[in-house]
Amino acid sequence: MPTQIKICGLSMPETLDAAVDAGASHVGLVHFAKSPRHVTLDDAAKLRRRVPEGVKVVLLTSALQPAELEAAYLAVRPDVIQFHGNETVEWMALVRKLMGVETWRAVGLKERATLDRAQRFVGQVDRVLFDAPAKALPGGNGVAFQWEILDGYEHPMDWALAGGLTPNNVGDAIARTGAPLVDTSSGVETAPGVKDIALIRAFCDAVRAADANP
Protein backbone atom coordinates (compact mmCIF):
# COMPACT_ATOMS: atom_id res chain seq x y z
CA MET A 1 0.00 0.00 0.00
CA PRO A 2 1.46 3.41 -0.91
CA THR A 3 2.40 5.66 1.98
CA GLN A 4 -0.48 8.01 2.66
CA ILE A 5 0.24 11.72 2.76
CA LYS A 6 -1.34 14.43 4.86
CA ILE A 7 -0.59 18.06 4.11
CA CYS A 8 -1.71 19.99 7.17
CA GLY A 9 -2.43 23.64 7.90
CA LEU A 10 -3.84 24.53 4.49
CA SER A 11 -5.64 27.86 4.53
CA MET A 12 -5.75 29.03 0.91
CA PRO A 13 -7.69 27.53 -2.02
CA GLU A 14 -4.57 27.48 -4.25
CA THR A 15 -2.42 25.47 -1.87
CA LEU A 16 -5.30 23.18 -0.94
CA ASP A 17 -5.83 22.41 -4.64
CA ALA A 18 -2.08 21.89 -5.07
CA ALA A 19 -2.01 19.34 -2.26
CA VAL A 20 -4.91 17.45 -3.82
CA ASP A 21 -3.33 17.60 -7.30
CA ALA A 22 0.03 16.43 -5.92
CA GLY A 23 -1.61 13.30 -4.54
CA ALA A 24 -2.26 13.99 -0.85
CA SER A 25 -4.60 11.41 0.66
CA HIS A 26 -5.49 13.80 3.51
CA VAL A 27 -5.66 17.58 3.79
CA GLY A 28 -5.57 19.25 7.20
CA LEU A 29 -7.41 22.38 8.34
CA VAL A 30 -6.28 23.89 11.64
CA HIS A 31 -9.04 25.36 13.80
CA PHE A 32 -6.94 26.59 16.71
CA ALA A 33 -6.76 30.34 17.27
CA LYS A 34 -3.15 30.38 18.50
CA SER A 35 -1.85 28.75 15.34
CA PRO A 36 -0.50 30.77 12.40
CA ARG A 37 -2.51 28.30 10.28
CA HIS A 38 -5.85 28.93 12.02
CA VAL A 39 -8.91 29.03 9.80
CA THR A 40 -12.35 30.19 10.89
CA LEU A 41 -15.19 27.73 10.58
CA ASP A 42 -16.58 29.68 7.62
CA ASP A 43 -13.28 29.48 5.77
CA ALA A 44 -12.79 25.84 6.75
CA ALA A 45 -16.24 25.02 5.35
CA LYS A 46 -15.40 26.79 2.08
CA LEU A 47 -12.09 24.95 1.79
CA ARG A 48 -13.78 21.67 2.64
CA ARG A 49 -16.16 22.07 -0.29
CA ARG A 50 -13.22 22.16 -2.73
CA VAL A 51 -11.94 18.75 -1.67
CA PRO A 52 -12.89 15.95 -4.05
CA GLU A 53 -14.28 12.59 -3.02
CA GLY A 54 -11.47 10.22 -2.13
CA VAL A 55 -9.35 12.81 -0.34
CA LYS A 56 -10.04 13.00 3.40
CA VAL A 57 -10.43 16.28 5.26
CA VAL A 58 -8.87 16.38 8.72
CA LEU A 59 -10.03 19.09 11.13
CA LEU A 60 -7.38 19.78 13.73
CA THR A 61 -8.60 21.01 17.13
CA SER A 62 -7.23 21.51 20.60
CA ALA A 63 -9.26 21.42 23.81
CA LEU A 64 -12.54 22.65 22.34
CA GLN A 65 -15.57 22.61 24.61
CA PRO A 66 -18.24 20.08 23.56
CA ALA A 67 -20.54 22.74 22.06
CA GLU A 68 -17.61 24.27 20.12
CA LEU A 69 -16.57 20.89 18.77
CA GLU A 70 -20.13 20.11 17.69
CA ALA A 71 -20.37 23.50 15.93
CA ALA A 72 -17.04 22.87 14.20
CA TYR A 73 -18.12 19.41 13.10
CA LEU A 74 -21.47 20.61 11.77
CA ALA A 75 -19.90 23.54 9.89
CA VAL A 76 -17.05 21.64 8.26
CA ARG A 77 -18.21 18.00 8.14
CA PRO A 78 -14.65 16.68 8.22
CA ASP A 79 -13.83 13.01 7.63
CA VAL A 80 -11.43 13.07 10.58
CA ILE A 81 -11.09 15.09 13.79
CA GLN A 82 -7.50 15.32 15.04
CA PHE A 83 -7.13 16.03 18.76
CA HIS A 84 -4.15 17.93 20.19
CA GLY A 85 -5.39 19.08 23.59
CA ASN A 86 -6.16 17.53 26.96
CA GLU A 87 -9.17 15.58 25.66
CA THR A 88 -9.81 12.39 27.61
CA VAL A 89 -9.90 8.96 26.01
CA GLU A 90 -13.56 8.66 27.00
CA TRP A 91 -14.45 11.97 25.37
CA MET A 92 -12.69 11.13 22.11
CA ALA A 93 -14.39 7.72 22.04
CA LEU A 94 -17.77 9.39 22.57
CA VAL A 95 -17.14 11.88 19.76
CA ARG A 96 -16.24 9.01 17.44
CA LYS A 97 -19.41 7.12 18.37
CA LEU A 98 -21.89 10.01 18.37
CA MET A 99 -20.56 11.94 15.36
CA GLY A 100 -19.58 8.88 13.36
CA VAL A 101 -16.32 10.62 12.48
CA GLU A 102 -12.82 9.15 12.32
CA THR A 103 -10.70 10.36 15.24
CA TRP A 104 -6.93 10.78 15.54
CA ARG A 105 -4.94 11.50 18.71
CA ALA A 106 -1.63 13.37 18.56
CA VAL A 107 1.03 11.97 20.90
CA GLY A 108 4.28 13.85 21.61
CA LEU A 109 7.05 11.26 21.72
CA LYS A 110 10.03 11.82 23.98
CA GLU A 111 10.76 8.29 25.15
CA ARG A 112 9.71 4.69 24.71
CA ALA A 113 7.47 4.78 27.79
CA THR A 114 5.19 7.21 25.97
CA LEU A 115 4.51 4.47 23.42
CA ASP A 116 3.36 2.16 26.21
CA ARG A 117 1.07 4.85 27.58
CA ALA A 118 -0.36 5.42 24.09
CA GLN A 119 -1.74 1.88 24.14
CA ARG A 120 -4.70 3.23 26.09
CA PHE A 121 -5.94 4.65 22.78
CA VAL A 122 -6.30 1.22 21.15
CA GLY A 123 -9.94 0.71 20.19
CA GLN A 124 -10.81 4.23 21.41
CA VAL A 125 -9.54 6.37 18.51
CA ASP A 126 -8.84 5.39 14.93
CA ARG A 127 -5.21 6.46 14.69
CA VAL A 128 -2.39 7.86 16.80
CA LEU A 129 -0.19 10.54 15.29
CA PHE A 130 3.35 10.48 16.67
CA ASP A 131 4.87 13.95 16.76
CA ALA A 132 7.60 15.79 18.68
CA PRO A 133 6.60 16.86 22.22
CA ALA A 134 4.60 20.09 22.41
CA LYS A 135 6.45 23.41 22.59
CA ALA A 136 4.82 26.84 22.45
CA LEU A 137 2.19 25.24 20.23
CA PRO A 138 0.94 21.67 20.74
CA GLY A 139 2.14 20.89 17.20
CA GLY A 140 3.14 22.48 13.92
CA ASN A 141 6.55 23.41 15.33
CA GLY A 142 8.67 21.91 12.55
CA VAL A 143 10.58 19.74 15.01
CA ALA A 144 11.30 16.05 14.50
CA PHE A 145 11.48 13.57 17.38
CA GLN A 146 14.06 10.78 17.67
CA TRP A 147 12.63 8.30 15.16
CA GLU A 148 14.65 5.49 16.77
CA ILE A 149 12.15 5.51 19.64
CA LEU A 150 9.92 3.60 17.22
CA ASP A 151 12.58 0.98 16.34
CA GLY A 152 11.18 -2.53 16.70
CA TYR A 153 7.84 -1.29 18.04
CA GLU A 154 4.90 -3.43 16.99
CA HIS A 155 2.17 -0.88 16.45
CA PRO A 156 -1.10 -2.16 17.93
CA MET A 157 -3.23 0.29 15.93
CA ASP A 158 -3.14 2.58 12.89
CA TRP A 159 -0.62 5.36 13.25
CA ALA A 160 1.03 8.25 11.44
CA LEU A 161 4.36 10.06 11.62
CA ALA A 162 4.55 13.84 12.03
CA GLY A 163 6.99 16.46 13.26
CA GLY A 164 9.53 18.32 11.19
CA LEU A 165 8.98 16.29 8.02
CA THR A 166 10.26 17.97 4.84
CA PRO A 167 10.84 16.99 1.21
CA ASN A 168 14.47 16.34 2.21
CA ASN A 169 13.95 14.02 5.16
CA VAL A 170 10.64 12.28 4.51
CA GLY A 171 12.29 9.49 2.48
CA ASP A 172 14.64 8.69 5.38
CA ALA A 173 11.72 8.90 7.80
CA ILE A 174 9.72 6.33 5.84
CA ALA A 175 12.73 4.03 5.44
CA ARG A 176 13.53 4.25 9.16
CA THR A 177 10.04 3.94 10.62
CA GLY A 178 7.89 2.28 7.95
CA ALA A 179 5.24 4.93 8.62
CA PRO A 180 2.00 4.16 6.76
CA LEU A 181 1.03 7.85 6.73
CA VAL A 182 3.26 10.93 6.87
CA ASP A 183 2.01 14.33 7.94
CA THR A 184 3.68 17.68 7.34
CA SER A 185 2.94 21.34 7.91
CA SER A 186 6.00 23.58 8.49
CA GLY A 187 8.09 21.52 6.08
CA VAL A 188 6.09 22.72 3.08
CA GLU A 189 6.07 26.40 4.09
CA THR A 190 8.24 29.43 3.35
CA ALA A 191 7.14 31.11 6.62
CA PRO A 192 4.79 30.04 9.44
CA GLY A 193 1.38 29.58 7.85
CA VAL A 194 2.57 30.29 4.29
CA LYS A 195 2.33 27.10 2.26
CA ASP A 196 4.44 26.72 -0.87
CA ILE A 197 3.13 24.84 -3.90
CA ALA A 198 6.58 23.70 -5.08
CA LEU A 199 7.40 22.33 -1.62
CA ILE A 200 4.05 20.52 -1.43
CA ARG A 201 4.79 18.85 -4.78
CA ALA A 202 8.36 18.04 -3.74
CA PHE A 203 7.13 16.44 -0.52
CA CYS A 204 4.63 14.22 -2.35
CA ASP A 205 7.25 13.30 -4.98
CA ALA A 206 9.72 12.37 -2.22
CA VAL A 207 7.15 10.06 -0.60
CA ARG A 208 6.50 8.33 -3.93
CA ALA A 209 10.24 7.99 -4.56
CA ALA A 210 10.66 6.36 -1.14
CA ASP A 211 7.82 3.95 -1.93
CA ALA A 212 9.43 3.09 -5.28
CA ASN A 213 12.85 2.43 -3.73
CA PRO A 214 12.19 0.73 -0.39
Ligand X SMILES: O=C(O)c1ccccc1N[C@@H]1O[C@H](COP(=O)(O)O)[C@@H](O)[C@H]1O
Q: Which residues bind ligand X (CB under 6 A)?
A: 8-9, 28, 30, 32, 35, 37, 60, 62, 84, 131, 137-143, 162-165, 183-187
Tell me if residue 211 falls in helix, strand or coil: helix
CB of 21 to ligand X, least distance (A): 19
**How distant is the alpha carbon of residue 161 from its chain centre?**
8
Task: Tell me whether residue 95 or residue 173 sits nearer to ligand X (CB atom).
Answer: 173
CB of 73 to ligand X, least distance (A): 18
Q: Which stretch of DSSP H or E encloses residue 159? A: strand 159-162
Q: State the Cα–Cα distance between residues 131 and 112, nearest whole angstrom.
A: 13
Nearest to 67 by CA among 95, 89, 93, 39: 95
* CB 70, CB 91: distance < 8 Å: no
CB of 25 to ligand X, least distance (A): 14
Task: Tell me whether residue 101 or residue 143 sits nearer to ligand X (CB atom).
Answer: 143
Task: Tell me whether residue 40 or residue 97 sits nearer to ligand X (CB atom).
Answer: 40
CB of 192 to ligand X, least distance (A): 8
Q: State the Cα–Cα distance between residues 197 and 214, nearest whole angstrom.
A: 26
CB of 39 to ligand X, least distance (A): 11
Task: Tell me whether residue 7 or residue 95 sits nearer to ligand X (CB atom).
Answer: 7
Task: Tell me whether residue 44 or residue 213 sits nearer to ligand X (CB atom).
Answer: 44
* CB 157, CB 121: distance < 8 Å: yes
Q: State the Cα–Cα distance between residues 37 and 30, nearest whole angstrom.
A: 6
Q: Distances in Å between the alpha carbon of 136 and those of 37, 133, 139, 164, 186? A: 14, 10, 8, 15, 14
CB of 61 to ligand X, least distance (A): 9
Task: Tell me whether residue 8 or residue 22 sits nearer to ligand X (CB atom).
Answer: 8
